[in-house]
Structure 1
Amino acid sequence: MLYSQLSLCIFRASVVSPQPNTNWSRSKSNNGRRVGHCTKVSRSVNMENLQSEYLFPEIFMREYEHSQKNPHANLIRLGVGDTTQPIPDIVTKAMAQHAQNLSTVEGYKGYGAEQGNTELRMAIAETLYGNMDVKSHEIFVSDGAQCDISRLQMLLGSNMTVAVQDPSFPAFIDSSVILGRAGKFHEETGKYGNIVYMNCNPENDFFPDLQTTSRADIIFFCSPNNPTGYAASWHQVKQLVEFAKSNGSIIIYDSSYSAYISDYSPRSIYEIPGAKEVAIEISSFSKFAGFTGVRLGWTVLPEELLYSNGFPVIKDYNRIVCTCFNGASNIAQAGGLACLSSQGYQAITNVVDYYKENAKIIYETLGSLGLKVYGGKNAPYIWVHFPGRSSWDVFNEILERTHVVTIPGSGFGPVGEGYIRVSAFGSRECILEATRRLKTMFS
C-alpha cells in the first residue's frame, strides 16, 4: 500500500527525460557555435548577454544525467515548483463541459476578447480584490504570469532601468537582459551593471533597505517571494509604495503565491492606499489552483497609473495585448471561473492547505536538524542556508546521497549563493519519505 502511494510522486529515474537533444548548451562545438551553413543574420547582442541556460531546464538536465547514472534510483522532485495534487472535480468538470459544448453549434465559440472573458474578469475583481476598488476592465486575463512578465517588459521599453529583489525569480532578470536593459555582466559580482539588486536576506528580514536603494524606473517585487518564501508585511509594502511614489517608479508586483499567506501580510499591493498610482500586479492560477499545465493568469493595470506625460499605461498595455496575444484558452477560462465559485474556491483552498502542511513538515524537519531554515509559512518554499558552501555543491550532494531534487539558491541571484530551495509540492507520502532521507543524510 505504501509503495503504491509513494509511486504517485517517486518515480524511476530512467523515465525522466527533458529531451536533451533540444538543450543546445550540451551539444556545442567551437565555443558554442555549430559547424554548417550560416545565414547573414546576426545574433542579438542581448541574447549573447545571457550568462547561462534558464535555471529550470538546467535542473531537468542535471536530473536526467543523474537518472542515467542511477537507473534504479527512486527520485523525489522537490525542485521545480510544479503542483502535483489533482485539480478539484468541480473545476475540471467545468472545463470538460465547456470543451464538450464546443462540439455543438450552440456551444461553439471561437476568438474571445483578448482581455479575457468578461464574467471571469468580474469574478477575479469581486472574489480576489474585494474592497480594493479594482475594476473588472482593469484586469487582463492571460496564459500565465510568466508570459505577462515578458509582455510588460515589451510595454515599458528597453531604455528603462530595473530593480529586482536578490534573490528573485529568474525571469525578471533574464527578460530584462533580453530587452537590453541589463547592461554588461560582471563575472566578479555575478551581477549586471544596469540592474539594481535589492538584497533580501535574514539580516534585513528579507526586505530591502530602501534608504540605500538606488532609483529605478521599474521595480520587480514578488510577495510572497520566490524563492525565500517570505511575505512582506503591510508596513513594508507601504514603504515600497512610498518609495516608488517619491522616485516616480512603477512597481511590477508578483502576487502569484498570495493564496499561501497565513498571517496578516497583504495579498495584494492594492491593499495599500495609493498603490494604484504606482503599481501593476501580476498573478496566476498556477500555484493557486494547480493550473501549471492548464495556463491561466491575470494582470491588473489600474486606470490611475500614468506615464510622465499623463498618458494612461492601461491603454498601451491593451494595445500590446491586442497585438501580441489572442486571449487565454476559453476552456482554461471556464476552469478559472469555476475556481472562483463558492464551492470551487473552497475546494482549491483545501489543496493549498495541503501544500502548506507539507511545507510545515519540511520546515520543522530541517529545522530540527540544526539547519538555518526560512520560509515555509506563507509560501510553498523552504529556503535553507548552508553558510560557506556552494549552492550547486549542496544541490549535487543531496541529489547523489538522497535522490531528492532541490534547487540551488544561486540560480535566483548572487545573494542566493549558499542556499537551496525546497518545494512543498508533492503528496504527503512523498514529503515524508523525502524528509526521512534528509534526516538520514544530515543526522
Structure 2
Amino acid sequence: MCGIGDVTEPLPRAAVEAMKQAVEELGHRETFRGYGPEQGYEFLRSAIAQNDYRDRNIEVADDEIFVSDGSKCDCGYILDVLGDQNKVAVPDPVYPVYVDTNVMAGHTGHSRKDGSYEGILYLPCTAENNFVPDPPREHVDLVYLCFPNNPTGAVASRAQLSRWVDYAREHDALLLFDAAYEAYISEQDIPHSIFEVPGARECAIELRSFSKNGGFTGVRCGFTVLPKSVLARTENGRRLPLHPLWQRRWSTKSNSVSYPVQRGAEALYSQQGRKQVRALIDHYMGNAKLLRAAAADVGLEAFGGVNAPYIWVKTSEGLTSWQMFDQMLRELNVVITPGAGFGAQGEGYFRISAFNSRENAEEVARRLRGLR
C-alpha cells in the first residue's frame, strides 16, 4: 500500500509521555482543567512561535497562532471569514481539499463538463516549470500554495515565492500557504515558511500540522499563523484586518484542541522530541529514496522524494493514470494514487507515498523492479 499519505510509525515517546502526564493531571482536582483557550494554550503557541519562527528570525507573535485539529480542517474553516465572490486560484495538480472545500462553501460557481469549476483559475504545474506555477496575469483574490507539495513533492525557491508575494500585494490577493511538509525539506536554500519572504506578513496565512512530522494523523493537532497585518477588502472597498475575524470565528465555533493533545504537541519541541521527530522523518525519507530509485531502475521518470515524502512518477508510455493504477494492482499487487485524481495536469502521472514501514517499502521497491 503506497497510496494514502497516512503515517505508519508509532508516536514519539516524548509526546506519549507528555499526553499520559496531562491525562493524569486531569484526574486530580488540584490539576484539573476545563475549557481551554479557543486559540490554544499559551504554552503551545509560545513553543510554536519560538521554535518554528523566531528561532529562524521570522517575526511571529504568540497571539498570531491559532491551534486547531489539523491543517486539512483549517482549509475549510478559513472560508468562514472569506466571501463567496472571491476568484480562487489553485495549482493543478492539487490537494483536492482546496477545491472541494470551496465547492461545498459555494465559492466556485458552476461545474464544467470536464469536472473543473467556473470560479476557479487552475495554474498548470508541469515538468517544464518544475511543478511550481508562476503567478497569473489576471487578477485573483485567493491563491492556494503548498510547498513542499502534495502530490508532486516539488519545492519553491525563495525567488519563486517572492514573485507570489509581489503578485499578492499588487493585486490585493490573499495567499493561503500550506506548509504541512516543511519538516521534510533537506536542501539548505529552500524556505520553510512563506514568512521568510519580505512582505508576506501583509498578504499570507500559513497552515501547519503535526501530522506528518510528529505522526499526529490520529491524534489531530495543527495550527494557522495569521498575522495581524493581513488586511481584507469588503465589497464596498473598506479594508479591515482578518485576525479579529478569525479569532471571532474560533471563539464562536470551537473550543480548540484537548489539553493532553496540546501537551503532546508541545513535547515535540523538547530536546528528546526533536530527536524522535528527526528519526521519523529520516525513516520516511529513507523509504522515499528506495522507492524513487526503484522507479528509475525500470525507466520511469520520477520527481520529488527529496524534500517531501512523495514521489511523482510519469506513467509508462501510452498509459493513463488509472490504467497505470490497474497495471500496478494487477501485476504487482501494489496500490498507488492515480495522478488524475489531483486534477487535469495530474493525468499521465501517479503518486507513490513513502509513508510505510521499511519492510513494506523494500518489498514495494522489489516489486516495482519487476514491472514490465
* TM-score bracket for this pair, using the shorter chain length: over 0.9
Residue equivalent to 2:107: 181
Please give the alpha-carbon distance, in whole angstroms, between the structure 2 residues aligned to 1:213 and 1:332: 44
Q: For residues 375 and 361 of structure 1, what CA distance do their matches in structure 2 show?
A: 12
Q: CA deviation at 1:321?
A: 0.9
Measured in 1, the distance between the counterparts of 2:364 and 2:179 equals: 28
Query: Counterpart of 1:351?
Result: 280
- The CA distance in 2 between the partners of 1:341 and 1:217, in whole Å, is 39
SS of corresponding position for 1:225 = coil
CA contact (8 A) 2:298 2:371 kept: no
Which residue pairs with 1:110 in the alignment? Answer: 34
Match of 1:379 in 2: 308
Query: Offset of 1:209 from its aligned partner?
Result: 2.8
Aligned residue number for residue 80 of structure 1: 4
Partner of 1:262: 186
Q: CA deviation at 1:396?
A: 1.9
Q: Which amino acid aligns with 2:261?
A: A
The residue aligned with 1:272 is: 197
RCO comparison, higher one (Cα < 8 Å, 6+): 2
Name the SS of the counterpart of 2:131 in structure 1: coil
Asked whether 1:157 is paired with 2:86, we answer: no
Does residue 1:426 correspond to 2:350, yes or no? no
Structure 2 counterpart SS, 1:404:
coil
Structure 1 counterpart of 2:134, from 203, 209, 212: 209
Does structure 2 conserve the Cα–Cα contact (< 8 Å) formed by 1:196 and 1:214? Answer: no
Q: State whether residues 143 and 329 of structure 1, in contact with CA within 8 Å, keep that contact through their aligned partners in structure 2.
A: no
Q: Is residue 409–residue 421 contact of structure 1 (8 Å, CA) maintained in 2? A: yes
**What TM-score, normalized by structure 1, do the two folds share?**
0.81
Of 166-175 and 212-221, deviating more is 212-221
Structure 1 outlier segments of 4+, above 2 Å? none
Q: 1:153, 1:392 → 2: CA distance?
A: 32
Q: Which residue of 2 aligns with 1:137?
A: 63
Partner of 1:304: 229
**1:370 offset after TM fit, Å?**
0.8
Letter of the aligned partner of 1:431 in structure 2? A
Partners of 2:110 and 2:95 in 1: CA distance: 20
Q: Report the 3-state secondary structure (helix = DSSP H, G, I; strand = E; otherwise coil) of the residue aligned with 1:251.
A: strand
Answering whether residue 126 of structure 2 is matched by residue 196 of structure 1, we say no
Structure whose CA Rg is larger: 1
Output the amino acid matched with 1:351: L
Q: Does 1:411 align with 2:341?
A: yes
CA contact (8 A) 1:260 1:352 kept: yes
Between the aligned partners of 1:265 and 1:213, the Cα distance in structure 2 is 25
User: Is it true that 1:333 corresponds to 2:262 in the alignment?
Assistant: yes
How many equivalent pairs are there?
A: 364
Query: 2:180 is matched by which residue type in structure 1?
Result: S
| Rounded Cα–Cα distance in structure 2 between residues aligned with 1:100 and 1:209 | 51
Paired residue type of 2:268: C
Distance 2:76 2:254 in 1: 12
Q: Distance in 1 between the 2:40 and 2:170 partners?
A: 34
Structure 1 range deviating more: 165-174 or 403-412:
403-412
Q: Equivalent residue for 1:40?
A: none
How far 1:214 sits from its partner (Å)?
A: 2.7
Cα shift at 1:213: 4.2
Between stretches 239-248 and 307-316, larger displacement belongs to: 307-316
Q: Secondary structure at the match of 2:123?
A: strand
CA distance in 2, matches of 1:187, 1:385: 26
Cα distance in 2 for residues equivalent to 1:230 and 1:394? 22
- Give unmatched runs, 5+ long, in structure 1: 1-76
Match of 2:151 in 1: 227
Contact 1:132 1:270 in 2 (8 A): yes
CA distance in 2, matches of 1:423, 1:364: 14
Q: Which residue of 2 aligns with 1:390?
A: 320
CA separation in 1, counterparts of 2:139 and 2:272?
Answer: 45
Query: What residue identity is the alignment partner of 1:414?
Result: A
Q: CA offsets, 1:6-26, max 9 Å, x none?
A: xxxxxxxxxxxxxxxxxxxxx
Q: Deviations over 1:57-81 (max 9, x none)?
A: xxxxxxxxxxxxxxxxxxxx11110
Amino acid at match of 1:267: H
Q: Which amino acid aligns with 2:330?
A: E
Q: Which string of whole-angstrom CA distances, capped at 9 and with x for unpartnered residues, describes residues 324-352 of structure 1? A: 11111111101000001122112111111
Aligned AA for 2:132? F
Q: TM-score if structure 2 supplies the norm length?
A: 0.96
- Which residues of structure 2 form unaligned runs of 5+? none
Distance (Å, rounded) in 1 between the aligned partners of 2:20 and 2:48? 21
The residue number in structure 2 matching 1:38 is none
Q: Deviations over 1:255-289 (max 9, x none)?
A: 00000001121010000011000000001000011
C-alpha distance in structure 2 between counterparts of 1:159 and 1:323, whole Å = 24
* Structure 2 Cα separation of the partners of residues 303 and 90 of structure 1: 33
Cα offset for 1:390?
A: 1.8
Q: 1:122 aligns with which of 14, 29, 46?
A: 46
Partner SS state of residue 289, structure 2: helix
1 CA distance for matches of 2:291 and 2:243? 42
- Distance in 1 (CA, whole Å) between partners of 2:309 and 2:6 is 11
Tell me the amino acid that sits aligned with residue 239 of structure 2. G
Contact 2:92 2:122 in 1 (8 A): yes
Q: State the alpha-carbon separation in 1 of the partners of residues 328 and 320 from structure 2.
A: 12
Q: Identity over the aligned pairs, expressed in percent?
A: 43
Per-residue CA deviations over 1:307-328 (Å, capped at 9, x if unaligned) read 2323110000001111111111
Q: Which amino acid aligns with 1:198?
A: L
